[in-house]
Structure 1
Amino acid sequence: MTKPAEKLSITITAPMAQRIRAEVEAGHYGSTSEVIREALRLWEKQQQELDLLRARVKASIEDPRPRVPIKDVRRRIKERHEAALNEAHDDAA
Structure 2
Amino acid sequence: MNEKISISLPSQMVDAIRSRVETGSYASTSEVMRAALRALDREEHILDQVADAKIREALEDPRSAIPADEVFDRLERLHAARVKSNSNGS
- Establish whether TM, by shorter chain, passes 0.5: yes
User: What is the SS of the residue equivalent to 1:36?
Assistant: helix
Give me the TM-score of the superposition, normalised by structure 2: 0.67
Instruction: Find the counterpart in structure 1 of residue 60 from structure 2.
Output: 63
Give RMSD over aligned pairs: 1.3
Q: Is structure 2 residue 27 aligned with structure 1 residue 30?
A: yes
Distance 2:62 2:20 in 1: 51
Matched residues, number: 64
Letter of the 1:17 counterpart: V
Q: Is structure 2 residue 46 aligned with structure 1 residue 49?
A: yes
Structure 1 range deviating more: 40-49 or 57-66: 57-66
Give 5+ residue unaligned stretches, structure 2: 65-90
Match of 1:21 among 18, 22, 46: 18
Letter of the 1:66 counterpart: R
In the TM superposition, residue 66 of structure 1 has moved relative to its aligned partner by: 2.9
Give 5+ residue unaligned stretches, structure 1: 68-93
Letter of the 1:60 counterpart: E
Name the % identity.
34
In the TM superposition, residue 30 of structure 1 has moved relative to its aligned partner by: 0.4
Distance 1:34 1:11 in 2: 17
Instruction: Find the counterpart in structure 1 of residue 2 from structure 2.
Output: 5
Distance 1:62 1:12 in 2: 42
Instruction: Find the counterpart in structure 1 of residue 67 from structure 2.
Output: none
